[in-house]
Structure 1
Amino acid sequence: MTQLRRTPVRLPSDSAGSPRLPSRAADTAGQRNLGKLYLPYLVFALFNVGTYLAFLYGPFAWPIRNAGLMSGLLTAFFVFYTAGYVFGAQRQVGRPGREVTDWVVRHLGVLLLVGVLVFAASIYVYTGEFFWNTARIFGDQQENYYDTLRYGETSSSLLNAPFVLLKIVLQPLITLGLIYATMNFRRLKPWEKGALLAVYLFWVLFSVFRGTDKEIFDIAVIFLTATAVNYYRSLTGRVSLAQLARSLLFVTLAVVTLVGFLSVFSQRKLTRTGGQTNICVIEAGVCARGTDTPLGYVYGLTVAYATHGYYGMSLALQEPFNTTFPFGNAPALKPLSDAVMGEEYLEHSYPNKIDRRGWDNGVRWSTAYTSWASDISFWLVPFVMFLVGLVTALSWKDAVLNESLLATAVFSFMTTMSLFLSANNQVGIALDSLSAFIVITLVWLVTRTYRLRLRGH
């Protein structure tokens, strides 16, 4: 049976039997390397400040009327995130959650095979296509995108509903298995390496067949965060040729992943629009400047993708507040809201209000802040940002200093959330990813303090 027991203060041992540093000593060692502790904060600051500056001064001339109010609120969000991150960086590291890690290791092969089957089946369940039709799907992304929309409107829910529930249950386990296998690739058996690569492949194909970018971005973040945690665990504080080589390898992997993502993203958008290089946001009546060259097109498309949510937020700030608590913060909660509160309840959310003004929330974004504000108002969102900063710091610290698999998974989710703040609540778009985030985070928080005894452990 599963039991929780308070962890006594003692010196844990590593796999070789040597005593490990207690949490206070580990914290002291970690404080010596501020670069290690504050790397995620630096990424957050550069990315989110950069996206807002690109919104204000980039290739689009957005017709915003409340730039001062927006800038003030975003500054408050940044300050509260900073306070939460600093507070979390000063906390003691938690327990590593070895029980869960050991369970994942014992069942790793099964988890990877389940991941392959689930994502291969997802392609058919969500799109009506078999994965061996990949060549045709890549050939015409525009037709594929609209075919997927039509299939979703006409397909039977008899198969969809049970499969969605199954995927919700399995997604947390698949995520943990995928992250562990990625971080320990060299130690995997040959067939496990093949299964891991197959999970990545079918996850990406699932996104391609659906005509969306969410899953491709999710898998890129999982890979990069797992690699980053692995790399920073290896740092000893001393500069050596081996460390420099690892740093170069990590930077190269990050750049290649980013360039690959932008290339696939741009190619899919270009084919979806029939080869037109004009980038216009019709709802706002603006078009990007200088998109007639390949580099200009990629730049304009990236800026449009990463920043147009701020315009949606500016529209939402002009609307009155009517709470949709607790369902308005995540699109994935709409079916539950409809069943509990009625289909009219979420009409009061900010995204739906600006949708009625012409900002289509089916294809346009309005930032994660706007989704959270639908439940609690914009004036309380700074406290949400404090929690985001706190959980990000704690999970990064536990992942790097205490080698916690659960914390690594939570940090991956928090990275996705942070990189999509200017767009939407990315973690809350689909029920499977939202359930994985909630379940893994709750188990991580419990195991930071308590010893979790699993059946058969």
Structure 2
Amino acid sequence: MMISPQSRIVRRLASPAFLPVVTPTGIPRLPLFLVLGWIAATFLLFLIWPINWPIYHIEEWERLVAYVSTCLLLIGAAAWTGSKGPTRLTAPLSGVRLLLVAGALAAALLLTPSCMTYTGRGPWELLDAMSDQGAAYRRLQANLVTTAGHHTAMALARAFFAPLVYAVLPLGILRWRDIGWSGRLSVAVTAACSIVFSLMRGTDKEIADLFVIGVSAMFVLYGRAWAAGYRGTVLLRRFWRWALAGALFVYAAQALYTERKDLRLNARHLPRSSVCANATNICADLANPWITWMPPQQRFGVTLFILSTCSGYYGLDLALRNPFESSFGVGHSPVALTMYETLTGDHTPHLRTYTYRNGEHEWLEEYYWSTLVTWIANDVGFPGAALVLGLIGYMWGIWWREAAAGMSDPAAILFALTTTMMFYFPANNQVFLTPDGYTIFAVWIAVWLWHRARRTVSVALPCEAE
């Protein structure tokens, strides 16, 4: 039977003959740079894909390229700094199996009322929703309009249980070998609830979140294996099955994404010469010689993916043209803005945000994206937003180091959440788009601080250098 590195550490620490040694410092930074590479790739696609972005002056392109490059360099440097140095080992988080079962139970209990609240239909109508994902999405939008203002109780309930539900997937993957059948079943139930909710709504967010959280957990497992001394073919043998599962998941997800977008346009299987960003005149030429080497369906799916995912950089360009008007700390999130307006009746901070003022260029914040950094800049301006991104990158690096080399389970959850924030960088401030992100961050930062202070192992293990 295989024994996990963390189990071996606990057993060795229990041995009276074990002596204190140097803390592990040789952890890889590859996962951090893969995520930053994703951001860089989306920006490169924004620059080169045949889409007629209405940016007409070379100085605007120069300013946009310079600012995005600065942000990426700051995040990378800060993450590198945070991930450096020795790390105290922490004991495993206790009661994980019970936590997984409780999280899965909460996800299952929330599924039906969530579906009824947001779609007006129960999960027992899943097969009908699956038969036409375009219709499922249109029903979602219609229901959100007719029931606007009546989702508060459901949103609060989901936010209350979010820290518990969110932890199931990363902890389940990290502790897969020792959580037993009940823990593994809990992981399957939680993932299934997310998939059902996605299918009932006809939306892609839930599928994307599953992918990002799962990959983040695998990154941590990879880091822990590296810190335990595994290298080369040994690492390959340990992770090839996970890599294959991830590849199959991506293949299925992209097929579902393309089908959904096709159905939303009500013109499935019909030939297209262009595809546009919602109701704008910003379109991609599908007959451009640069992309005609792709099969038509894949060309459509990839181009629409770039139009939707990378369009946030155009929103960023629009915002960079405007002067800064502070939104007083509530402009970084629609949730914060809504709460402030509900409590005070004052709409001034909202009207001062870059994302709202982008509407002057017909780039409405309700329908179009403007990147994570634009939402942060609503509160602190673009120079301040770059510094905030640096702070986020620094904490991201710390959580990576403590999750991988220190084997901290709470740090692994925070690393997954921050990786999600980075993954959605080209689009929006996704983590704080709903109340869930606030409660997940608040609860798990508190757990992380408590755990690192009280669950520190008094000795550590050596590790080979990178």
Question: Shorter chain as normaliser: what TM range?
Answer: 0.7 to 0.9
- Superposed CA offset, 1:214-259 (max 9, x none): 2221121112212222233223445464432224333323322222
**Equivalent residue letter for 1:231:** Y
Contact 1:120 1:202 survives alignment (8 Å): no
Going from structure 1 to structure 2, the CA distance change for 1:156 and 1:67 (only over 3 Å counts) comes to closer
Which segment is superposed worse, 363-372 or 277-286?
A: 277-286
Which segment is superposed worse, 271-280 or 148-157?
A: 148-157
Paired with 1:330 and 1:167, the residues of 2 have a C-alpha distance of: 17
* Aligned residues: CA RMSD: 2.6
Which segment is superposed worse, 291-300 or 237-246?
A: 237-246
Going from structure 1 to structure 2, the CA distance change for 1:441 and 1:40 (only over 3 Å counts) comes to farther
1:263 equivalent to 2:255? Answer yes
Paired with 1:213 and 1:249, the residues of 2 have a C-alpha distance of: 25
Structure 2 unpaired stretches of 5+: 1-7, 288-294, 457-466
**Equivalent residue letter for 2:314:** Y
1:78 equivalent to 2:72? Answer yes
**Equivalent residue letter for 2:209:** D
1:230 equivalent to 2:221? Answer yes
Paired with 2:305 and 2:88, the residues of 1 have a C-alpha distance of: 38
Match for residue 3 of structure 1?
A: none
The alignment partner of 2:369 has SS state of: coil
Q: Report sequence identity in percent.
A: 24
Contact 1:321 1:377 survives alignment (8 Å): yes
Alignment of 1:216-365 (within 5 A): 216-235=207-226, 236-239=228-231, 241-274=233-266, 275=268, 277=272, 278-281=274-277, 285-290=281-286, 293-341=296-344, 342-365=346-369
Match for residue 132 of structure 1?
A: 124
Alignment of 1:369-448 (within 5 A): 369-448=373-452
Match for residue 8 of structure 1?
A: none
Following superposition, which runs of at least 4 residues in structure 1 exceed 6 angstroms of deviation? 19-22
Paired with 2:190 and 2:158, the residues of 1 have a C-alpha distance of: 14
Contact 2:315 2:358 survives alignment (8 Å): yes
Match for residue 113 of structure 1?
A: 105
- How far apart are residue 13 of structure 1 and its match? 6.8
The alignment partner of 1:359 has SS state of: coil
Going from structure 1 to structure 2, the CA distance change for 1:435 and 1:304 (only over 3 Å counts) comes to same
Structure 1 unpaired stretches of 5+: 1-11, 453-457
Match for residue 464 of structure 2?
A: none
- How far apart are residue 286 of structure 1 and its match? 2.6
**Equivalent residue letter for 1:389:** G
Match for residue 167 of structure 2?
A: 176
TM-score using structure 2 length: 0.85
Number of matched pairs: 431
Going from structure 1 to structure 2, the CA distance change for 1:306 and 1:282 (only over 3 Å counts) comes to closer
Contact 1:104 1:177 survives alignment (8 Å): no
Going from structure 1 to structure 2, the CA distance change for 1:238 and 1:212 (only over 3 Å counts) comes to closer
- How far apart are residue 368 of structure 1 and its match? 0.7
- How far apart are residue 186 of structure 1 and its match? 4.2
Going from structure 1 to structure 2, the CA distance change for 1:332 and 1:260 (only over 3 Å counts) comes to farther
Going from structure 1 to structure 2, the CA distance change for 1:157 and 1:103 (only over 3 Å counts) comes to farther
Which segment is superposed worse, 286-295 or 389-398?
A: 286-295
Contact 2:170 2:416 survives alignment (8 Å): no
The alignment partner of 1:105 has SS state of: helix
Which segment is superposed worse, 182-191 or 367-376?
A: 182-191
Paired with 1:299 and 1:148, the residues of 2 have a C-alpha distance of: 24
- Superposed CA offset, 1:284-303 (max 9, x none): 52321237712211221222
- How far apart are residue 416 of structure 1 and its match? 0.9
- How far apart are residue 166 of structure 1 and its match? 2.3
